[in-house]
Structure 1
Amino acid sequence: MAKLRFPVVIGEAELILPESPTPVEFKYLSNLDDLVFFRHHMPFIHYYNSRHEGELCDPAAVIRRALSKALVHYYPLAGRLRHGENGKLVVDCCAEGVVFRDVEADVTLEQLKMVAGGLRPPSPYLSEFLVDDVKGGAFITDSPLLCMQVTRLKCGGFVLAYRVNHCICDAYGAFQFIKYLSELVREPNRSSPTQPPVWSRELLVPNSTPCPLFPHTEYHLNINSKHDTSKLMRTQKLTQTSIFLTGHDVFALKSKINKPKTTTFEVITALLWRAWACFLALDCETRLVFPIDTRRSHTPVLPVGYYGVALITPCTIIHAKQLVSQPLSFAVGLISELKSKVQDHKEYRSSAIDFIEMNGRSRFCNKVAFAVSDLSKLRFDKVDMGWGQCLYGGFARAGVGDVPGLMVAPLVRYKERRMGWRVCLPLSHCLLRLWMCFKRRCVVRLIALMPSHPLSRFGYKY
């Protein structure tokens, strides 16, 4: 289906300042905040229906006003990242403001639902609904840390889209901020957030004498392979697609795993990782990484309201040929073992911080790595701006832009007739023919058909 075209009237970019004076200071960023891997922007998008008849209200006006109030409590977001000593970034809390745009689009939600992809990620119209979106590491320093846009639709609904600098917060922190913004939209006279934000990055300083307790292969850049697959990825034209797994599909997958308490994340991640491995050279090592939130599980325990990056990203390494020649349960076992290693060792986060302090802020294990970020527990779709729950709310696209070889697939809960899981994948053209087959009571098989590398050659097992 051809892409829908519609006229858009783009308003001038405004700088929204905190409503009242805020502290002028420099804020410390932890080694987790300041990883080169996180020096990019996270784009989010929400689609809202029109209000009931008689409830006329301009969403751009009320959100703009609420944003100014929210920046009083989240005042570092109104600042700028600056270069500090030894290449480390710091936050200059200068209250220069965040970008806001008021836009009108001559299109309806029903029209957007009907086009290929609909409202699910990757958003096919993100360039219209988030004019100031940037990919990769562009405009990280000396530029706004938050850009937000409200696009009114001719049906009375609207689209709220925004990008947040990942060095300031992770997805959990972004969710905490947008929830507070929604509180202020619904209750303009509210004086404080339900959950006050907490900076407390000083809790994550490295030891005076850094002493990593674990090897941290996630930060090792060298790959033992005859093939430099990262070069291959740079020559591939990457695009994105989205697949939907229902609860029945996930149950069918779990039934094939001889392991008690297999999680949804484990089976979906195993399925995607093996499909990705099929694209690699057979003697190439493939790495799986996935972020784990450590706010409450590692020492020191971070206070409720902490909105900085609290993610650690363990890594498991295996040859592509071995991964795809084994049944799905094998990949699930690797993922489960890696999770247990991190969750059972409460010092893993501190060890990672010390490792980064000793070895520098590497570009992460970005060659031939596949990353799955589980956002299913962050209910962006439930964020109510006064127009009810959104039709879709969450990540607008996958990937991190300019990190070659690293494929990032967000996993989100999505309601499409039945509740299930939507995965947004950045793919090369060789993997665009990924699809779901259903046989024998909807037993799911993910088949990557590649012209030069049919799966039968790999001995792909289910």
Structure 2
Amino acid sequence: MAPPWVQELHFPHLPSHYIDHMVPVMPSGPTPTAPGQSLYLSTSMMWLEPVFSLPQYIFMPQITGDRLKTLRDALASVLVPYYPLSGRLRETNNGKLEVFFGQDQGALMVEAHSEMSLSDLGDLKVPNPAWSPLIFRFPNEEPTNCGGFSLGLRICHCIVDGLGAMQFLSSWAATAKAGTLITNPKPCWDRDFFRPRDPPLVKFPHIEFMRIEDGSSLTMSLWQTKAVQKCYRISREFQAWLKTLAQPEDDMSNVTCSTFDAMAAHIWRSWVKALDVKPLNYELRLTFSVNARQKPKNPPLKEGFYGNVVCLACVKSTVRKLVYGRFPDTARLVREARLGISEEYLRSTVDYVEVDRPRRLEFGGKLTITQWTRFSIYDSADFGWGRPMYAGPIDLTPTPQVCVFSPEARLILVGQCLCVFACRNLLQKASRTFCLLQRPVNKVQLNEATTLL
């Protein structure tokens, strides 16, 4: 049985929902654009396909009054400074994306209801793939809203990143709460900041984008077995203990291992071990997103910029080193990749995308980790009715090689987080992971801690 600091969470099944109204919400005031005009969208995000969105759901307690009107009016106000979010993505003749403004577009608001209460949703502190029917999808979309009150938000990832989405959400919520437009900080579009250099100058190999023919058993193993989303509540104590184990014993650089480095290294090793990847000499990759907002120095990014400033860090290792190597060595690889994201790496990424035009991320032979723990989503989503009961992503199962570190709702204990996996049921092979952490520790503590994955 897993200890309290590593707790597996389970999910209930949900009934259907019914759509009542679909209303486009236009900016309530004048904007700098007119129908027929378009906005430049930075080249660096071309690899994020237009349909790759950031679905988030916010569940709130029972609310009185005309809540839809409050949300609609606040959204119309916020769309004045955030006017690009009322446009539409389209592809230009040269294959790039832009934001186009046509007649009466606006942001689509969908009102729906379901014959259920918030208590029917189960544990509202964790993401739940059973909530997927609550996501509105257009008729031509691939298959992948309730009592109390829930609010869903879908924004294309090539328009904003996670922090940009939080900035918009915070402004919308503050405007609804105050009854007047609030934008703090003032939103900044300025996508020209990330135009490619002329001529482009690619200084790094950018293996995060390269296609690798998966010669291992990983992909076949994943897709032959139906993906199961697993969610684990990971305590601050476990994270601190794992970080201690990951510290290098002979590193004279005085660069310490972060909690993320330790968690990412342990999950990657455990994932590969549990899936019994073969052959042992096959080289696998780990990719994870790094917030690069503070990297540009000359000039720096303007305050309020809400576009994508995400760089993908990439780590390579053979199966043998992951399974049988030292845990601090794997954590060091993660740390070096994280610290390797510089201003020049960011500029090189923009130029690489301009030259090679990758249109999607490659998932062959790798695991991808996304960190949401630093998003102020619970504070950002107070629309005047209190903090939400749950705010965050819903379902990762369509992409079984992604892991999300997500903050848990209603917790005062700083550092406690959720680890959400879309993968096979790793607990069935948990006994295989006992050898992953090899620094001498209390035997009982080791056996308990390594049942995490």
| TM-score for both structures, normalised by structure 1 | 0.82
The 3-state SS of whatever aligns with 1:363 is coil
Structure 1 CA distance for aligned equivalents of residues 430 and 27 of structure 2: 46
Task: Check if 1:44 corresponds to 2:39.
Answer: no
Which residue number in structure 2 is paired with residue 262 of structure 1? Answer: 257
Which residue number in structure 2 is paired with residue 187 of structure 1? Answer: 178
Which residue number in structure 2 is paired with residue 458 of structure 1? Answer: none
Name the structure, 1 or 2, with higher relative contact order (CA <8 Å, separation 6+): 2
Query: Is the contact made by 2:14 and 2:130 (CA closer than 8 Å) also made in structure 1?
Result: no
Structure 1 CA distance for aligned equivalents of residues 192 and 239 of structure 2: 41
Task: Check if 1:15 corresponds to 2:24.
Answer: yes
Task: Check if 1:127 corresponds to 2:124.
Answer: no
Query: Is the contact made by 1:288 and 1:317 (CA closer than 8 Å) also made in structure 2?
Result: yes
The 3-state SS of whatever aligns with 1:306 is coil
1:218 is aligned, of 189, 202, 208, to 208
- CA displacement at 1:363 relative to structure 2: 2.9
Q: How does 1:283-432 map to 2 (within 5 A)?
A: 283-299=281-297, 300-342=299-341, 345-382=342-379, 383-398=381-396, 401=398, 407-415=401-409, 418-419=413-414, 420-429=416-425
- CA displacement at 1:101 relative to structure 2: 1.8
- CA displacement at 1:193 relative to structure 2: 1.2
What are the superposed Cα offsets for residues 375-430 of structure 1, whole Å, 9 maximum, x if unpaired?
Answer: 1111111221111111221222336x4x6xx7222212214665511111111356
The 3-state SS of whatever aligns with 2:208 is helix
Structure 1 CA distance for aligned equivalents of residues 131 and 73 of structure 2: 26
Which residue number in structure 2 is paired with residue 29 of structure 1? Answer: 41
Structure 2 CA distance for aligned equivalents of residues 228 and 37 of structure 1: 27
Structure 2 letter corresponding to 1:29: L
Structure 1 letter corresponding to 2:315: T
Which residue number in structure 1 is paired with residue 450 of structure 2? Answer: 445
Query: Is the contact made by 1:122 and 1:424 (CA closer than 8 Å) also made in structure 2?
Result: no
Q: How does 1:221-260 map to 2 (within 5 A)?
A: 221-223=211-213, 226-227=215-216, 229-259=218-248
Change (3 A) 1:88 1:422: same
Structure 1 letter corresponding to 2:27: P
Query: Is the contact made by 1:237 and 1:428 (CA closer than 8 Å) also made in structure 2?
Result: yes
1:174 is aligned, of 162, 165, 170, to 165
Change (3 A) 1:351 1:5: closer
Change (3 A) 1:26 1:125: same
- CA displacement at 1:433 relative to structure 2: 6.0
Identity %, equivalent residues = 22
- CA displacement at 1:165 relative to structure 2: 0.8
Structure 2 letter corresponding to 1:444: A
Which residue number in structure 1 is paired with residue 120 of structure 2? Answer: 111
- CA displacement at 1:334 relative to structure 2: 0.7
- CA displacement at 1:302 relative to structure 2: 1.4
The 3-state SS of whatever aligns with 1:288 is strand
Structure 1 letter corresponding to 2:180: N
Structure 1 CA distance for aligned equivalents of residues 154 and 139 of structure 2: 8
Structure 1 letter corresponding to 2:176: V
**RMSD value, Cα:** 2.9
What are the superposed Cα offsets for residues 345-374 of structure 1, whole Å, 9 maximum, x if unpaired?
Answer: 321100111112122224334212211111
Q: How does 1:77-116 map to 2 (within 5 A)?
A: 77-94=85-102, 96-113=105-122
Query: Is the contact made by 1:370 and 1:407 (CA closer than 8 Å) also made in structure 2?
Result: yes
Q: Which moved more, 1:69-78 or 1:31-40?
A: 31-40
Which residue number in structure 2 is paired with residue 209 of structure 1? Answer: 199
What are the superposed Cα offsets for residues 71-114 of structure 1, whole Å, 9 maximum, x if unpaired?
Answer: 1221111111111133211110235122212222332323323x
Q: Which moved more, 1:253-262 or 1:56-65?
A: 253-262
Query: Is the contact made by 2:48 and 2:157 (CA closer than 8 Å) also made in structure 1?
Result: no
Change (3 A) 1:414 1:134: farther
- CA displacement at 1:222 relative to structure 2: 2.6
Which residue number in structure 2 is paired with residue 451 of structure 1? Answer: none
Query: Is the contact made by 2:59 and 2:150 (CA closer than 8 Å) also made in structure 1?
Result: yes
Which residue number in structure 1 is paired with residue 3 of structure 2? Answer: none
Structure 1 letter corresponding to 2:323: V
Change (3 A) 1:36 1:175: closer
Query: Is the contact made by 2:124 and 2:389 (CA closer than 8 Å) also made in structure 1?
Result: no
- CA displacement at 1:189 relative to structure 2: 2.4
What are the superposed Cα offsets for residues 280-319 of structure 1, whole Å, 9 maximum, x if unpaired?
Answer: 3233321111111111223442111111111110211111
Structure 2 CA distance for aligned equivalents of residues 219 and 50 of structure 1: 45
Change (3 A) 1:69 1:376: same
Change (3 A) 1:442 1:222: closer
Structure 2 CA distance for aligned equivalents of residues 30 and 80 of structure 1: 15
Change (3 A) 1:394 1:37: same
Structure 1 CA distance for aligned equivalents of residues 217 and 430 of structure 2: 23
Structure 2 letter corresponding to 1:395: P
Count how many residue pairs are aligned between Structure 1 and Structure 2. 417
The 3-state SS of whatever aligns with 1:409 is strand
Change (3 A) 1:119 1:172: same
Structure 1 CA distance for aligned equivalents of residues 180 and 124 of structure 2: 36
Structure 2 CA distance for aligned equivalents of residues 231 and 443 of structure 1: 30
The 3-state SS of whatever aligns with 1:178 is helix
Q: Which moved more, 1:239-248 or 1:355-364?
A: 355-364
Query: Is the contact made by 1:244 and 1:421 (CA closer than 8 Å) also made in structure 2?
Result: yes
Query: Is the contact made by 1:284 and 1:319 (CA closer than 8 Å) also made in structure 2?
Result: yes
Change (3 A) 1:416 1:319: farther
